[in-house]
A and B are shown apart, each in its own frame.
Chain A
């Protein structure tokens, strides 16, 4: 906390600093040199992503002659549409859950006294650094028939026999919100952190109560972070495999689990490819839609 003001040394600093900055950073490499620098990445993207995805797309359309059967199958069999719908629904609910639980944490982290911040950050980051597998098994331990939650509820006499919590959509949702929470918290924290302390003070000074300060200053200025966090969580949730597979079991099938079943158990590679392509298209459409919304809010994010 500052006891007093920081000394501002006139307005000369920017005018001196500007030419230095532009002079220093405006070094240009030849195009060839730039290409050499990015070539390892380009090769990796080509062989690790573009080629297999292209191969997959092609294989979904030919068996061996050109056919749309695989896609027709997705859209005619209610089972597959139901899985797609469930995946979108769980991804959306996960995003909402992560926002509802994550925003207050990000807010506390951005506004807490400096001594508290590392502790909150540790609580957010340590789960993130722990393997998703470990965290999903932890949820199994908690939620199974004779797990900690059921035992506790029986001990305090709230229920007589164990509830079925594990292998339900709710369990998947709970575990996924938990696993993906840091991806919501961190971008929101970043945008809240960049709001100068003077702005909420100015709002208060001009007559705004706490709720109005939040609605008119914090919320609109943290929108870029909310969008970034939401799209991260949503897209990660769409293709999430480990947690739904472990916590959801066979009854709560999601797209990633379905694709895995088709490839490893049923060996129907063409159909798996069609499912993957559909998931990819849905993901891309949503990503671009989000980007479009985001570019509207960008106008002010660099204003301060």
Chain B
């Protein structure tokens, strides 16, 4: 089995007045696991259904290994798919389910038997061939679904929230299994999920979708470190948001006015937003682990005073929950290693929250998180 590249070109899909997929172009590299990540209604499932051939785009086209498949019927596409609720045929045994795509391809019977046995061994269900799907647990059913989707060696495998119905522990185990299977077989996988943690763990690259628009594509680290919109910043990992107005912006240094008296000096990465100018309303975004603390009044030009609301010990680190005097009514989260300065602070202590100027993002306030 060898993965093939997939190219989605300017695809638009509407349902009545609803714009489900708004002009998305996306190139998926052969052999990579790409996640389509977004909340409900972001268009990720619609996009997957169009790749599978169950929905047709209004405009745009889709290529598989260079061939146009936009209007090809689903049964001719030779793309494997794992469904959200497994979609195993309840009237067939596990072996009949897994052998189904081979029977459709008129593979000789003894070859089918051999390949079904191999596929079931691959997902560690070798002795379950004669069971009915209803006799298996959720995790086992999902493994059967994976075996059935890859037994005919499709160049591309689509997965629609395949682990959504499983409990956390099983989900984590299967994430690893699916990832290692994908790497071993070098198959291209398009993986739909609304779980950012799952996407970060499994993906080679992630495409973040929001309201039918492709917000950003990149490696998990890219998206985490260099989000290009407030939506991506908020959706991936934990992010604190503080609102203000650009007071000064030149040569990589921005000064943001939070109130009449309070200014915050940052050298934030404004490359994503080159159009920032004086008077512009902005959102400052910063990760909990990129914030530091100092004694009250000692924080300097890149800090905001606040009062500690809680100090939560979570094993490897402490999460400090701090109410800021300006910038946001919401308490912000700061993550500091256990034993570091500040891990013994307690509720009611006054501190300065210090911003690491290099690890702070500034976004236009109008593409703020809804």
Contacts and interface: CB of A to CB of B under 8 A. Distances in A.
Tell me whether A and B are bound partners.
yes
Interface in B38-57: 40-46, 52-54
A64 interface: no
B100 interface: yes
Interface stretch (A1-9, A66-74, A84-92, A252-260): A1-9
A5 B170 contact: no
Interface stretch (B160-168, B233-241, B274-282, B352-360): B160-168
Contacts of A3: 15, 18, 20, 41, 43, 46
Given A4-B46, A198-B85, A208 B104 contact: yes
Contacts of B168: 10-11
A8 B165 contact: yes
B91 A204 contact: no
A302 B134 contact: yes
Given A208-B104, A299-B132, A4 B87 contact: no
Given A10-B167, A299-B132, A201 B161 contact: no
A141 interface: no
Given A3-B46, A4-B45, A5-B44, A207 B101 contact: yes
A1 B15 contact: yes
Interface in A1-40: 1-8, 10-12, 15
Contact of A11 (B40, B41, B42, B170): B170
A205 interface: yes
B83 to A, nearest CB: 5
Interface stretch (B74-82, B223-231, B320-328): B74-82
A64 B85 CA distance: 68
Interface residues of B, number: 51
A206 B148 contact: yes
Contacts of A251: none
A201 B87 contact: yes
B44 A300 contact: no
Contact of A7 (B78, B80, B88, B194): B194
Contacts of A130: none
B148 to A, nearest CB: 7
A196 B86 CA distance: 11
Interface residues of A, number: 35
B90 A201 contact: no
Contacts of A196: 85, 87
A121 interface: no
A6 B171 CA distance: 18
A52 interface: no
B184 interface: no
B81 A202 contact: yes
A303 B133 contact: yes
Contacts of B52: 201, 205
Contacts of A301: 90
Nearest to B134: A303
B20 A4 contact: yes
B134 A206 contact: no
Interface string B153-194: 000000011001111101100000000000000000000101
Interface string A53-70: 000000000000000000
A118 interface: no
A38 B138 CA distance: 40
A202 B104 CA distance: 12
Contact of B43 (A4, A202, A303): A4
A8 B89 contact: no
Max chain A Cβ within 10 angstroms of own Cβ: one of B88, B89, B192: B89
Contacts of B171: 11
Given A10-B167, A299-B132, A206 B101 contact: yes
A4 B104 CA distance: 29
A261 to B, nearest CB: 47
A196 B85 CA distance: 9
A4 B44 contact: yes
Interface in A195-221: 196, 198-199, 201-209, 212, 216-217, 220-221
A131 interface: no
Contacts of A300: 90-91, 132, 134
A6 B87 CA distance: 16
Contacts of B74: 201, 204-205
B89 A199 contact: yes
A301 B89 CA distance: 11
Max chain B Cβ within 10 angstroms of own Cβ: one of A6, A206, A207, A212: A206
8 contacts: A4-B42, A5-B161, A8-B161, A10-B167, A203-B89, A203-B100, A205-B53, A300-B90
Given A5-B161, A11-B166, A199-B89, 11 more contacts: A3-B18, A3-B41, A5-B40, A6-B40, A11-B168, A201-B74, A206-B101, A206-B152, A220-B91, A221-B91, A303-B133
Q: Which 8 A-B pairs have the closest CB atoms?
A: A11-B167, A303-B90, A207-B104, A303-B134, A198-B87, A8-B164, A202-B87, A206-B101
